[in-house]
Structure 1
Amino acid sequence: MKQILLFLLLTASSWVFAETSTQDKLNRLEAELNDVRQEQQAVYQNYQMTRDLRRLEVQEGSPPTSQYPYGKSIYGTDINTPPPNYDDVVRTQMEREQRIQHYTNELKGLSARYLELEDRRRALLELIKKLKQQQGS
């Protein structure tokens, strides 16, 4: 009789221990899922900001020669306004193109990171679903 009681006690304790272990694992996975979601949101917000910066840079499209940098006059509207320095114009255009390329590269990287996080999120959701099914059984 003592052996049967001992056996039942050991079986029940192992079942409770397994249940606690599963619940702990489930809690860890849900915490990790929450972290992934937060990082995904931050990446998306960074993507939006970078996209807007790039869009503004592209829309600025008017060449810097249209405005004289030292005064309110626009080149060509006043005979006394000297033309801008060619080297300054070329340098400004190159800097603008470099910023656009930098934003484009950053957008590609953010997009790739977001997709990585999405894959991780889906995998975590699948694991959580399986654990909940095991726990319910």
Structure 2
Amino acid sequence: MKLLFFCLLLVSMSVPAVAGNEKQIFELEAAIMQQQQEQQILFQRFQMLQELRRHEITQIEQALPTGSDVIINGEAPKYEDVARQRKERAERVHRYTDELDELYMRYQETENERRALIEQLNGLKPGQDVSAEPKK
């Protein structure tokens, strides 16, 4: 009789632990998915800024040639206007570069957080490989 009571006591104590463990697993999986979505958003923004930066660099490289061979609406462009446009493009390239660096650092931070969550999840799910990452 004591053995039966002891077994029932153990079973009743393990049920909440298993339910709590499953809840924690569910929460970790949700947090991992959220990190992956944030990474995807950061990556898309990174690609967009990278293309904008490439475009500006191309425009700088294809800058208006100096001399009398360039005429816009019957007039040669003023040196000040050309110099201002070049300066503005260079400033945009610099700003895009700074933003790209910031996005890269944020992406790395989210990756480190995601890996830590996966390690926690692996600790709760012994024998299962959760590190298999979905393709982006």
| TM band (smaller chain) | 0.7 to 0.9
Which runs of no fewer than 5 residues in structure 2 stay unpaired?
Answer: 129-136
Partner of 1:82, secondary structure, is coil
Tell me which amino acid in the other structure corresponds to 1:27: F
Cα drift, residue 115 of structure 1: 0.7
Q: Which residue of 1 aligns with 2:27?
A: 28
Residues 1:77 and 1:128: Cα distance change in structure 2 (over 3 Å): closer
Q: Which residue of 1 aligns with 2:77?
A: 84
Tell me which amino acid in the other structure corresponds to 1:123: A
Q: Which residue of 2 aligns with 1:125?
A: 118
Tell me which amino acid in the other structure corresponds to 1:26: I
Which structure's CA Rg is the greater one? 1
Which runs of no fewer than 5 residues in structure 1 stay unpaired?
Answer: 68-74
Q: Which residue of 2 aligns with 1:62?
A: 62
The answer to whether the 8 A contact 2:25-2:121 is kept is: yes
Cα drift, residue 4 of structure 1: 4.8
Q: Which residue of 2 aligns with 1:95?
A: 88
- What TM-score, normalized by structure 1, do the two folds share? 0.80
Q: How many residues align?
A: 126
Residues 1:77 and 1:48: Cα distance change in structure 2 (over 3 Å): closer
Tell me which amino acid in the other structure corresponds to 2:113: R
Q: Alignment RMSD, CA only?
A: 2.5
- What TM-score, normalized by structure 2, do the two folds share? 0.81
Q: Which residue of 2 aligns with 1:8?
A: 7
Identity of aligned residues (%): 38
